[in-house]
């Protein structure tokens, strides 16, 4: 991974750890509203590729009126591209997760003596949509991250979700 000052401006803006941490937080929070145990750690690696890729984000409905399985079946998602995006964004997802943990936005839950699930923490530092322009790309990304979190909670099994997208976990 390139040092921060060596990154192209487009990468620095889109893959800013603070912004990406907010997206992870929003998805994890939406997940936890349906499943209080928290989101399986493995699922965070799907959030940014689904939400930040413009073409994929536009396919995600504004409300979770379909299940994840129904949505994937209706859409023609190129799994090769998604797999490639997942691989490319792993370091940025890790960076965002670390940043989110350092800032107190997300953390691992301790259940059954394991730390495999993530929870969103309330934090005053977290920007809300009111400070951003409605209809802007950041607001759209946040909304879609929430939908992804809800969908993932309905399925709950990380292996099933990965296989739904044609990815071997």
Q: What does R_g of the chain's alpha carbons equal in angstroms?
A: 15
Residue, of 136 and 160, whose pLDDT is higher: 160
**Using an 8 Å Cβ cutoff, are 47 and 148 in contact?**
yes
The chain-wide mean pLDDT, for the chain, equals 84
* Per-residue model confidence as pLDDT tens digits over 81-130: 888 999 999 999 999 999 998 888 888 876 654 446 767 666 544 555 45
d(CA 65, CA 71): 9
Q: What pLDDT does 118 receive?
A: 66
């Amino acid at each position: 991974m390139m040092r921060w000052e060596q990154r192209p401006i487009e990468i620095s803006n889109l893959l800013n750890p603070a912004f990406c941490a907010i997206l992870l937080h929003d998805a994890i929070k939406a997940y936890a509203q349906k499943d209080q145990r928290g989101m399986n750690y493995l699922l965070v690696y799907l959030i940014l590729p689904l939400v930040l890729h413009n073409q994929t984000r536009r396919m995600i409905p504004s409300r979770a009126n379909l299940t994840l399985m129904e949505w994937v079946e209706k859409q023609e998602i190129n799994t090769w591209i998604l797999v490639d995006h997942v691989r490319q964004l792993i370091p940025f997802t890790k960076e965002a997760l670390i940043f989110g943990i350092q800032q107190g936005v997300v953390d691992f839950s301790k259940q059954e003596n394991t730390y495999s699930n993530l929870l969103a923490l309330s934090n005053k530092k977290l920007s809300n949509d009111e400070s951003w322009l409605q209809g802007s790309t950041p607001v759209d990304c946040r909304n879609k991250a929430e939908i992804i979190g809800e969908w993932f909670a309905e399925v709950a099994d990380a292996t099933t979700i990965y296989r739904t997208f044609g990815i071997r976990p």
